[in-house]
Amino acid sequence: MESATSLQELICKTACKFELNLNDSSSLRLETLRNDTVTLQRVSENFLLIGCYVDFQDGKLTGDPEFMIFIDSQGWFPIGVSEPNMEWIWGAKITQDGLNIINPMPEKQRKIAQRCEAWVQELGERNGSNECLIPAWLA
């Protein structure tokens, strides 16, 4: 499976910088320099849901993609994406206990990983920095 190293680096650096616990089951809300919002929600031990919302300077947040990330000792692997006004696209199925993936679909998963990495690049370009996330309570 293809990993999302840029996403992993962005989120882990942010967590380290602000001493955020990514293993906490509650949601974390991060904001960018442009007031875009990124939410992180630990779904289970091995899964993280990342939601992205863009402020187009009219005060209304518009949904950007959401990603389901499978995390293990090998890295972060995007296995699902939901673009605005679209159904989820899956590159693998999740076991009923929510701990593992089954039936990987390599081509779909690769495209989801590429979309995820492109989103990280877009986020950096929109905000003028790849280190643009800060906890909402500090924004």
pLDDT at residue 50 in the model = 93
Of 92 and 98, the structure prediction assigns the larger pLDDT to: 92
Residue 13 has pLDDT above 80, yes or no: yes
Query: Does residue 124 have a pLDDT over 80?
Result: yes
Residue with the bigger pLDDT between 129 and 4: it is: 4
The number of C-alpha atoms within 13 Å of 125 and in the hemisphere containing its C-beta is: 6
Report the share of the chain in percent with pLDDT over 70. 94
CA-angle at 5, arms to 128 and 139, nearest 5°: 40
Residue 88 CB coordination number (10 Å): 10
